Structure 1
Amino acid sequence: RTNSVLIDVASSSEADKIENLIQSLDLPVSQVLIEAKLIEVVLSDENSLGIDWEMASQVISEIEPTTTLTGPIFGRASSSLVPVSGVFSFAISNKRVNAVIVAVSKQGNAHALSQPRILTLDGKEAKIEIIEEVPFVSGVTVTSTTSGGVTTYSYSYTIETRSDIGITLTVTPRIQKDRSVNLHLDIKEIRIVDYLELPISAEAEAIGVRSRTPHTADRITTQDVVVWDGQTLILGGMISTRKSTIVSKVPFLGNIPLLGHLFKKTAYEDTRTELVIFLTPYVIRSFGEGKMLTNEEKEIEKQPSAGIIEKF
């Protein structure tokens, strides 16, 4: 779609002014390519309180200085990396991302949750979702049948689904005149921390059948930070504890109504994890800049090992 305007001018000088004004307004819309890496680290016993970022920062020798609006940014590796409200952030050169990932992986079992690239307009939000649907038993209908003095129980389940379990990362970039980028970040994480076993009826309780409803924990983090074009922002300190239920039972005997619990053993295990987010904004003000970034991405994809994160 094009817009045409007919302007009647009295002199060539006015025409020149109008032409200059049109040229200043007729600019391509600036865009931001956001490259993200979301890594989950299963913390070892030695690092149960979280990743030792002081140790990780020594590996990359220097954390790049940057500016900040309202979110905490640490300018040097020698700075005190103390979490603010449990979450902290700092910026590094994009070339040092793999070194940080290696340092982090040495402190626990790390694996990539997602590595998306999203193109968005200046001032428009981009959303990254890592969501899973979790079915659970919300109800049980028990039917008993007696024949020849023998009572047989049958039951049917009512299944519901939670479709909001996971991580939602919303990024709104705003490009500054000096090509720095103000990133407004909203991070929402919903995790299942446990399952609540609730009684349904006396009949269901008699045969050991209960509904299992997921108990979730929500965490919402908001930050405003400023990084340079092509600089990588790292967010850490988002630690969660997951409770796992491990049921061991004797085959066949463990499924016997009323007596099955005698042949079962239930154990509970706590797993602590830390979510680490890497965000790299690339400013695109012209077609040429966009083409150059596209060519760079194609070259990276051709490499047999495009990133050390794939080895986890």
Structure 2
Amino acid sequence: ITQYTYADGVQPRSAELFSATGSTDVSEVVKFLSTQGDVKTVSSPRVMTLNNQPALISVGQELFYKIKSSSTASSGGGAVAAEGELVDSVFAGILLDITPEIDDNGMVTLKINPSVSETADTVTSDSGVRTIPPDLKRRQIASVIKVKDGQHAILGGLISSQTGFTDNHVPLLGDIPGLGTLFKRQERVNKVEELVFIITPHIVKNSKSVSLKDLGYSKLNEK
């Protein structure tokens, strides 16, 4: 990466949006991000869409639950009650909604709406079946950016923090029954994670046939 530009009005240490130029390889962008902390790739999807048409990328799972329903109907002989069950679901995971708009100069305006949801807890009945919708923790942002064809846009800001405890003990001595607790200690650990999206738009002309290489699958052709 030879140049990176932060969004207007933000400082480098707290930037949530910036663009990078000088390299067409996403691995170089990941290498740059690794200077800010440990980096792990969650998913690398590719999607095609028409100009001014939304594209949706989802990575997660559907959580199903049952809803009991009852109804009462009147007939000539009296009221008749009926009971049944309905199955519904909620999505937990990563959703990325992108709508591109290409201007006459070949610049691409991206309307980006990423969201991350995860279960806060799970409630089940005695039979082990979920009977109410699970509570979800959701993080969501919305942004509109303009980049060049093939330019990387890096969008962050979806931060989560977790607090836990880890047990440390002296080898061998910490395993002695009864006395091992004297050689153990518990430490509080704070874990902070930020989900970062690397988005690279490519303009595909109508007159051009689309190949796997255009979609970023060049490695399939390697021997």
Q: Do both share a fold (TM > 0.5)?
A: yes
Within a 5 Å distance, the mapping from 1:146-165 to structure 2 comes to: 163-165=90-92
Q: Partner residue of 1:115?
A: 44
Q: Does 1:73 align with 2:2?
A: no
* Structure 2 residue 16 is the aligned partner of structure 1 residue 62: no
- 1:110 is paired with a residue whose SS is coil
SS in 2 for 1:113: coil
Provide the secondary structure at the position in 2 that maps to 1:119: coil
Over 3 Å counting, the alpha-carbon distance change for 1:234 and 1:108 in structure 2 is: same
CA deviations 1:161-184 (Å, max 9, x no partner) are 864111110000011001100101
The answer to whether the Cα contact below 8 Å between 2:107 and 2:148 also exists between their aligned partners in 1 is yes
Contact residue 74 and residue 90 of structure 1 kept, 8 A: no
Q: 1:196 to 1:124 in 2, by over 3 A?
A: closer
2:114 paired residue number: 187
- The answer (yes or no) to whether the contact 1:127–1:171 under 8 Å persists in 2 is yes
Q: State, as a whole percentage, how many aligned pairs show the same letter.
A: 23
Write 1 or 2 for the structure with the bigger share of helix.
Answer: 1
Shift of 1:275: 0.5
| Map of 1:151 onto structure 2 | none
Give the structure 1 partner of residue 191 of structure 2. Answer: 271
Q: How does 1:107-146 map to 2 (within 5 A)?
A: 107-134=36-63
Compute the displacement of 1:197 (Å). 8.0
For 1:111 and 1:131, locate their aligned partners in 2 and report how far apart those are by CA, in whole Å. 17
Q: What's the CA shift string for 1:4-38, capped at 9, x where partnerless?
A: xxxxxxxxxxxxxxxxxxxxxxxxxxxxxxxxxxx
Which of 153, 170, 174 matches 2:101? 174
Query: Structure 1 residue 95: deviation in Å?
Result: 2.0
Report the secondary structure of 2:200's partner residue.
strand
Unaligned stretches of 5+ in structure 2? 66-86, 167-186
SS at structure 1 position matched to 2:201: strand
* 2:11 counterpart SS class: coil
On the 8 A contact 1:74/1:91 being kept in 2, the answer is: no
Aligned to 2:177: none
Question: TM-score of the superposition, structure 1-length normalised?
Answer: 0.46
1:219: Cα distance to partner? Answer: 1.7
**How many residue pairs align between the two structures?**
177
Q: 1:195 to 1:268 in 2, by over 3 A?
A: farther
3-state SS of the aligned residue for 1:301?
helix
Structure 1 match to 2:78: none
User: How far has the Cα of 1:132 moved from its partner?
Assistant: 1.7
Q: Match of 1:164, SS?
A: strand
Distance across 2 between alignment mates of 1:105 and 1:161: 40
Match of 1:240 in 2: 160
Structure 1 residues 225 and 107: alpha-carbon distance in aligned structure 2, compared to 1, 3 A threshold: closer
Q: Does the Cα contact within 8 Å between 2:3 and 2:22 map onto a contact in 1?
A: no
Q: 1:197 to 1:243 in 2, by over 3 A?
A: farther
Larger relative contact order, structure 1 or 2 (CA cutoff 8 Å, min sep 6): 1
CA spacing shift, 1:231–1:242, aligned 2, 3 Å:
same
Q: Which amino acid aligns with 2:103?
A: Q
Equivalent AA in structure 1 for residue 30 of structure 2: I
1:225 CA displacement: 0.6
Distance 1:97 1:114, change over 3 A: same
User: Shift of the alpha carbon at 1:245?
Assistant: 9.5
TM alignment of 1:1-312, pairs within 5 A:
60-63=1-4, 73=7, 80-81=11-12, 83=14, 87-105=16-34, 107-134=36-63, 163-192=90-119, 194-195=120-121, 215-242=135-162, 271-288=191-208, 290-291=209-210, 294-296=212-214, 297-303=216-222
Q: SS where residue 104 of structure 2 aligns?
A: coil
Q: How far apart, CA to CA, are the structure 2 residues paired with 1:269 and 1:195?
A: 21
The letter for the 2-side match of 1:229 is D
